[in-house]
Chains A and B, each alone.
Chain A
Amino acid sequence: MSAAPSAHASSTLERWPIIARDFLTSGLPEPWRWLANSLLAIAAIIIVFASLFAVLTLLERKVLARVQNRPGPNRTGPFGLLQPLADGIKMLTKEDIVPRTADRLLHTLAPIALLAFSILTLAVIPFGRNLVPIELDAAVLYFFAAGAATELAVFMAGWASRNKYALLSGMRALAQLISYELPLLLSVVPVVMLAGTLSTVEIVEAQGGWAWGFVPQWHVLTPWGFAGFIIFFISALAESNRSPFDLPEAESELIAGHLTEYSGFKYAIFFMAEYFGMCALSGLGVTLFLGGWQAPLPFLEIIPSYVWFAVKLLTLLFGFMWIRATLPRLRIDQLTRLAWKFLVPLALVNLATAAFWSLTRDWSGALQLVRWALAIVLVITPFVLIGRTLTRGIAPRTYRYA
């Protein structure tokens, strides 16, 4: 259900990145031009997302602080705006300590590999109407392939430190990442099924157009899409080791988990990789469920597509921070139980709901209401049933005082 190309698609605001790129590289002969274009894209991604990382560290501390009713960093520069700079200088000037018996090569390789694969995943996300670094036919598969290698780097960090806490925590982190890989992938399958393609560009275009002129056709605004988005969001939280799933790297758990023996710049690279992974997963969530760079209303298309993508991305990232500020941390057994006993069955049922939605595409008129009602029932009932079954005997808590 793609919309006709809108009149704003060829406006200068939309096309200025392409115009700038062509201005810079049009003089080169063919293979070199492709290389120059690719290098420009890589440079642009790294510059934008590294700056976003710096801003996000400050934003996170401010948001957490405000939720906890305190001001947050406000000493370094006005409103603490130079705090990322101060943090960067601190990290760069710290001593790089590697334990004597640690596996030096792997110890150094782990954060680099983690960062490299996190950046690789950003290559297939359409940041704007003409702004996708690589247009692949199997883009979603590429994203998860590159993301799967990050789990390996986490294990390498835990094992190479030659520290029993780090190794134990590395294995726990690996277990968490593997467990949540499954609901993540299962929540994406309905999107692929209904868009009919694995290409992120085409998935975004399939969410174009407005029903009755003002309701966007994003996947999140359908019953299966809503449930899928929530499952995707929770799994993304776990995949990027964010609270409440930050058991592997929390200070009160096994010292600092697989990061115990890391200091200075390598520690900073780990956190950069975590934020990049967060941005990549949020970007994928925006692409698959929130309509990518599509504007919510037709008259808002004056605002360029990459601005809409940025707005949606920042909203999701703010949601990540909000959850971190609000929810307590889960234990490893609660984590894995949540993944395997709750999210995976729900994701499978969501797949069935999406299949029903896809098969009843031609229902019209009053049958549309039946379709919606049935889909909503199919989404809510397993959630309530499984939730009740799993918490029987545990919830609701009754407090007894002596």
Chain B
Amino acid sequence: MVCSFRGYASPENYPRAPEPTFVNVAFFIIALGTLATAAVAMSLRNLIHSALLLIGSWAGIGAFYLWAGAEFVAFGQVLVYVGAVSMVVLFAVLLTRHSRDDSGFEPDSIGRAVSALIVGGTVLGVLVGAVLSTPLKSATEVPAAVQVRSLGLQLMGPHAAALLVVGVVLTVALLGAVVIASPDRPADRKEEP
């Protein structure tokens, strides 16, 4: 309670450029954490454990936004993903599992496996292409912190359509979770005692 950042790191005192090594080390730690939790989440058999690790990965992305100085986006990420999408995913998993044993690991059929690879590969290709072809300048000086008010005006004005589309993200998460969690082979459905 005795610490007030007023006069040191309050919004009007930005920009404050930290040491370059701290910046890189922090970025690597955050990136490692995010990717590691996501990778382990994809490899676990227990679906709830996977979901919880994925939530950790989303929180890692929120940490990345904080590292990059986008506070509003970071809090929005935590609020939407860790706070809402995680609930949706967990409810979907719980309400569609018949038992809490391991989920089936093998793909349902060769056709499904091939189409999954194709779709995943396409998304990967699009993302990599977009990242490599965009001229991302590295900032020579730390930019001034964006005020929330200007963010709000931008979101309500020129980018309102994007905001509405983003609102669909919860529905997409629910559908994805239900599709992943529900057993669709008749052999998987266990009879109720």
The residues of A with any CB-CB pair to B shorter than 8 Å are: 17-18, 20-21, 34, 37-38, 40-41, 44-45, 48, 106, 127-128, 130-138, 141-142, 144-149, 151-152, 155-156, 159, 167, 171, 174, 178, 181, 196-198, 306
Q: Which residues of A are found within 8 Å of B76, using beta-carbon distances?
A: 141, 145
| Cα distance, A141 to B5, chains bound together (Å) | 18
Give chain B interface residues in 33-66, CB to chain A under 8 Å.
48, 52, 55, 59
Residues of A contacting B10 in the complex (Cβ-Cβ under 8 angstroms)? 135
Q: Which of B3, B86, B91, B147 contacts A21 (CB 8 A)?
A: B3
CB of B49 to closest CB in A, whole Å = 8
Query: Can you report 18 A-B residue pairs in the complex whose CB atoms are below 8 A from each other?
Result: A17-B1, A18-B2, A37-B3, A45-B1, A48-B1, A133-B3, A135-B5, A135-B11, A137-B71, A138-B72, A142-B75, A144-B83, A145-B75, A145-B78, A145-B79, A146-B78, A149-B59, A196-B149
Determine if A131 and B75 form an interchain contact, defined as CB atoms under 8 angstroms apart. no
Q: Which of A38, A178, A306 has the most CB of B within 10 A?
A: A178
Q: Is the CB of A138 within 8 A of B83?
A: no
At the interface, yes or no: B134 with Cβ under 8 Å from chain A?
no
Does B6 contact A152, Cβ atoms closer than 8 Å? no
Beta-carbon nearest neighbor of B9 in chain A: A34
Q: Does B3 lie within 8 Å of A41, measured CB to CB?
A: yes
Q: Is the CB of A144 within 8 A of B2?
A: no
Determine the distance from Cα of A197 to Cα of B75 in the docked complex, in whole angstroms.
16
Other than the given A17-B1, A135-B5, 12 more pairs (CB < 8 A) read A18-B2, A37-B2, A38-B3, A40-B3, A134-B5, A135-B6, A145-B78, A148-B82, A149-B82, A155-B87, A171-B94, A178-B84
Contact A137/B94 with A146-B78, A148-B78, A197-B149 known, Cβ cut-off 8 Å: no
**Chain B residue contacts of A181, Cβ below 8 A:** 83
How many chain-B residues does the 8 Å CB contact rule pick out? 32
B140 adjacent to chain A (CB < 8 Å): no
Bitwise, B133-169 to A at CB < 8 A (1) or not (0) is 0000000000001011100000000000000000000
Contact present for A141 and B3 (CB under 8 Å): no
Docked-complex contact A106 and B2, CB < 8 angstroms: no
Minimum-distance CB pairs A-B, first 3: A148-B83, A41-B3, A145-B78
B29 → A minimal CB distance (Å): 17
C-alpha gap A322/B84 in the complex (Å): 32
Asked whether A131 lies within 8 Å of B148 as measured between CB atoms, the reply is no
Residues of chain A within 8 A (CB-CB) of B83 are: 144-145, 147-149, 151-152, 181
**Distance, CA A196 to CA B148, complexed state (A):** 10
Residues of B13-46 at the interface with A, using a CB-CB cut-off of 8 Å, are: none
A152 and B90 alpha carbons, distance in the complex (Å): 9
Given contacts A145-B83, A149-B82, contact A44 B1 (CB under 8 A): yes
B105 touches A (CB below 8 Å): no
Q: Are A130 and B78 in contact (CB under 8 A)?
A: no
- A236 CB, min distance to chain B CBs, angstroms: 17
Contacts A145-B78, A152-B87, A174-B91 given; does A18 touch B55 at CB 8 Å: no
Is B4 an interface residue when CB atoms closer than 8 A count as contact? Answer: yes
CB pair B91–A41 under 8 Å, yes or no, is no
Nearest A residue to B151 by beta-carbon distance? Answer: A138
Give the distance to chain A from B143, nearest Cβ to Cβ, in Å: 15
**A141, B72: Cβ atoms under 8 Å?**
yes
Q: Which residue in chain A gives the minimum CB-CB distance to B48?
A: A159
The answer to whether A135 touches B91, judged by C-beta atoms less than 8 angstroms apart, is: no
Minimum C-beta distance from B166 to chain A (A): 15
- Check B79 against A131 for contact (C-beta < 8 Å): no
Give A21 to B7 CA distance when docked, in angstroms. 14
Q: Which of B52, B83, B149 has the most CB of A within 10 A?
A: B83
Q: Are A41 and B2 in contact (CB under 8 A)?
A: yes
User: What CA separation (Å) do A137 and B149 show in the bound complex?
Assistant: 9
A152 CA / B8 CA spacing, docked (Å): 34
- Tell me whether A137 and B72 are in contact in the complex, defined as CB-CB below 8 angstroms, given that A145-B78, A148-B84, A159-B48 are known contacts: yes
The interface residues of chain A lying within 8 Å CB-to-CB of B55 are 152
In whole angstroms, what is the CA distance A351 to B52 when docked? 35
B78 to chain A, nearest CB (A): 4
**Residues of B contacting A134 with CB < 8 Å?**
5
Is the beta-carbon distance between A144 and B79 smaller than 8 angstroms?
yes
Q: How far is the CB of A38 from chain B (nearest CB, A)?
A: 6
* B52 surroundings in chain A (CB, below 8 A): 106, 156
Q: In the complex the two chains form, is A174's CB within 8 Å of B79's CB?
A: no
Nearest chain B CB to A166's CB is how many angstroms away?
13
Determine which residue in A18, A40, A135, A151 has the highest number of CB atoms from chain B within 10 A of its CB, and name it: A135
CB distance from A109 to the nearest CB of B (A): 9
Question: Smallest distance from the beta carbon of A334 to chain B beta carbons, Å?
Answer: 21
* Cβ distance A137 to chain B, nearest Cβ, rounded Å: 5
Least Cβ distance of A351 to chain B in Å?
15
Q: What's the nearest-Cβ distance from chain B to residue A143, in Å?
A: 9
C-alpha spacing A181/B79, complex, angstroms: 11
